[in-house]
Every structure is written in structure tokens, then in C-alpha cells.
Amino acid sequence: MSKKITISSIKKSKGVKPLVMITAYDALFAKLLSESADMILVGDSLNMSFAGKSDTISATLPQMIYHVNAVCAGAPNSFVVADMPFGTYINKEEALKNSIEMFQQTQADCVKIEGGADKADIVKHLTDNGIAVCGHIGLLPQSVRSEGGYKVKGKTPEEKHQLIEDAKAIEAAGAFCMVMEGVKAEIAKEITDAVTIPVIGIGAGVDVDGQVLVFSDMLGLFEEFTPKFVKKYLDGATLVKDAVKNYADEVASKAFPKEEHTY
Ligand code: KIV
């Protein structure tokens, strides 16, 4: 993207144009991905695909700040969403202190926090103090240990009611958009229709206001597991492994370097 999208144009895109969000964790990929994405999310999923951990819980604020800085440097014209890691927004004061740190140490355009109505007071405190917030409702990866796994939401009337309450509470608290993860598609549509801010889905079907995918999933680089909602647009793992095998073979046979690679 040549010009950074603004919060007001993100809000105006609802019902007009689906938003494209993708994760990035470093400058190299941020630059490549920024050409076609409206928003880059520096997700705490980096703790899994980049740092090799089994979930996102152990991601830290300094770690996220490091990666947000790298992404902002690689894609200075992109709208960058900084995920606030587990434990950094346990109450209003902590949330504001840590979000200010994120804003002061990086060029992030907003923070993202997981939670619905239970986090509305925190979202309001941040937005009241000049921190733009992207919400995150539905399946909450930071709750994986307390919930005993990744559970798709919206399967019962109670869950549907709660999700609609969550979305409305986050909107009323001042969030300018929200991610909705792992929600039954027909419920996701109802939730999307219930609010006036864009709802960006991941595993939430097509009737939302945009989509987000983890870049290493959609490029087929992450091999450990593939969630049902991921489409692999590239068989990245095979391409990378084949290329490195080719290189190793050529080093062994001395086919590399050739004269054109030699001083
Ligand atoms: O951390 C992340 O990458 C996310 C996406 C799954 C939305 O929160």
C-alpha cells in the first residue's frame, strides 16, 4: 500500500469493501506483505510460529515491542496493529501503562486486546486516553489454557447472545474495529450486522467485514498443524526445503559458487 489507511477510512469501509489484514513479525516480510494488505497485525501468534512455543501465553511486552518495531521499519506506510500480550492488560491501569509503552517505543497505530464485555472498561480507558483499540472476540488464544483448548464459539444460543453482547460492548467502549476468531459462520454474520464498526474474521466465514490470516499459515510455512479456516496460498515449506536442499547439493558438488558469484 502506498498510503497508510486511516482509522476513519477503516470504519467507513464497513459494508463497502472487505478489509485485508495479515500478520507479519519482521521487516522483511512486512515489506513484502504490505503491498496487498490494508493492515498488518503483529500478532502474539509470533510466539508460536516464530519463537516455536506451543501457545501465545509466554509472549512478553518487550518481545512484542521488538517485533512491532521491525514491522514498522519494514512497512512504514502500513497501518500496524500491535497485539498486547497475555497479562499486560489485567486492569485499566496496567493496560494503559503497557499500551503507552507500546505507543512510545514503536510506531504502532493501535493495540489489540482479547476479550468482550468483560474488557469493555479497559477498552474505554485506553480509547479515552488516546490509544486506538482493535478488539478481539470469539475464540481467544490467550485463554487456551484456562479453556482447555481452542474452542469454536457460537454453538449455543447462550454463546451467541454473549458474542453479540461482547461485540456491542467493545464498540460502545470506543474500539474502531475488532477481530472475531473461530465463530460459526451464521452467528458471525449476525454479530457483524449488530455493530457499526468493521468485524475482521478469522475462522468466522465470509459474511464479515474483512479477513485476517497468519502469514506463515497462508504461505504454507508453518507445518506443525493447519487449522480448518486456513487456505494455503503457497506451499512455502516445500519450496524453502527444496531450495535449501538444492543449495546443499551444489555446495557438496562444488557446483556453487560459479564464476558469476566469485570476486
Ligand atoms: O496473534 C494473532 O496472530 C492473532 C490472529 C490469530 C488474529 O491474534
Please write the tens of the pLDDT for every residue from 147-157: 999 999 999 99
Tell if the pTM clears 0.95, that is, is over it. Answer: yes
CA distance 260 to 245: 21
Q: Render pLDDT for 158-193 as a digit per residue (tens, 0 to 9).
A: 999 999 999 999 999 999 999 999 999 999 999 999
Cα–Cα dist 117/216, whole Å: 31
Q: How many residues make up the chain in this entry?
A: 263
- Nearest-atom index, ligand 1, CA of 43: 1
- 3-class secondary structure, 205: coil
Residue whose CA lies nearest to ligand 1 atom number 1: 43
Q: Give the pLDDT band of residue 225 (cuts 50, 70, 90).
A: confident
Measured CA to CA, the distance from residue 58 to residue 73 in angstroms comes to 25
Partners of 137 in the beta sheet? 180
Lowest mean pLDDT among 26-30, 119-123, 222-226: 222-226
CB distance 82 to ligand 1 below 6 Å: no
Q: Name the amino acid, one letter, at 67.
A: H
What's the pLDDT score for residue 41? Answer: 98
Q: Which residues are catalytic?
A: 181
Helix (H) or strand (E) holding 136: strand 133-138
Q: What is the DSSP letter of 142?
A: G
Query: 1 falls in which pLDDT band (50, 70, 90)?
Result: low
Q: Does 99 contact ligand 1 (Cβ within 6 A)?
A: no
pLDDT-derived band at 242, boundaries 50, 70, 90: very high
Contacts of 65 (CB under 8 A, 6+ apart): 101, 102, 105, 106
The pLDDT tens digits of the residues spanning 40-59 come to 999 999 999 889 999 999 99
Mean pLDDT to the nearest integer, 61-69? 98
